[in-house]
Structure 1
């Protein structure tokens, strides 16, 4: 059986050069024989379930030794879109529409505080458990993914 681990280490530094903690975590996954895909805000590692599970302590240690203050990890079987319906985006689209109705405006038209509130409401409803939701929400808000992650990491 194959597994996929998606991990995000913080602090973020925008879309410039990746921080050492992210690079070191990706290297640890590669050293374990896992295939990796590095993104601006997260890394995906795929491979045999036993290899991936055995590599997790080294990945976590590498991120922390590299300066990470927080590490978020999600593990799933490849292709498993937990929480997604058969129609791509429909669950998230419905959540966004509900928040827009609740706030009385399209997300892109909200001021900064309104956008932060929208992100908190979407988080409370589980929107960010859906695959690629941050990119979709960022587009709806008219901001970058980095901004959405900053809103998610703010104290409530």
Structure 2
């Protein structure tokens, strides 16, 4: 196989600021396995030899869960892949999801009121938009809000779903 890249997100999110312990512990497990890491507010990207990366996944998951994660999402990819799994160009998957949500809501994301923006974030989340790399920043820009606001909407909806 050669080389692999993985991106994992652990929840609950805390938005911007100090990263949650589960994210810190998952990153430490990846680094302990000798993987290159790129730590971000929504997820951590790791890369390395495919065997080393695949062997490290259980310890990364265990570290996140031991650190308090309630959910761990993983995406694996061979580096240099220039298309999404459905054959579309990168970025167009999110654009397509956003266009469908805008059509459903009858207006552009930027024209929605606060309640409409919260509903849009919920719909985008249901359709998997936030599983895509850098999607929170892109959606925040289209909504005309900060990334922190999008994280707050996501956390609000997820807490409501648990009640």
- Please tell me the TM-score bracket, short chain as reference: 0.7 to 0.9
Matched, 1:137 2:128: no
Matched, 1:16 2:17: yes
- Residue in 1 aligned with 2:65? 64
**What's the CA shift for 1:68?**
1.6
Structure 2 counterparts to residues 79-94 of structure 1, below 5 A = 79-80=80-81, 81-82=83-84, 83=86, 85-86=88-89, 89-94=91-96
Are the structure 2 counterparts of residues 13 and 107 from structure 1 closer, same or farther at C-alpha, using a change threshold of 3 Å? same
- Residue in 2 aligned with 1:4? 5
Deviations 1:49-105 (A, max 9, x none): 11011101111111122222221111111233424633x534433432332233122
For 1:69 and 1:92, how far apart are their aligned partners in 2? 25
- Residue in 1 aligned with 2:75? 74
For 2:108 and 2:56, how far apart are their aligned partners in 1? 43
5+ long unaligned stretches in structure 1: none
RMSD: 2.3
Q: Which runs of 4+ in 1 moved over 4 A?
A: none
Whether the aligned pair in 2 keeps the contact of 1:84 and 1:91 (CA below 8 Å) is no
Q: Which is further off, 146-155 or 37-46? A: 146-155
Please, what TM-score do these two structures have when normalized by structure 2? 0.80
For 1:93 and 1:19, how far apart are their aligned partners in 2? 29
Whether the aligned pair in 2 keeps the contact of 1:84 and 1:130 (CA below 8 Å) is no
Q: Aligned residues, how many?
A: 155
Q: Which is further off, 51-60 or 5-14? A: 5-14
Please, what TM-score do these two structures have when normalized by structure 1? 0.83
- Residue in 2 aligned with 1:97? 99
Q: Which is further off, 137-146 or 34-43? A: 137-146
For 1:79 and 1:150, how far apart are their aligned partners in 2? 33
Deviations 1:20-77 (A, max 9, x none): 2111111110110100010012111101111011101111111122222221111111
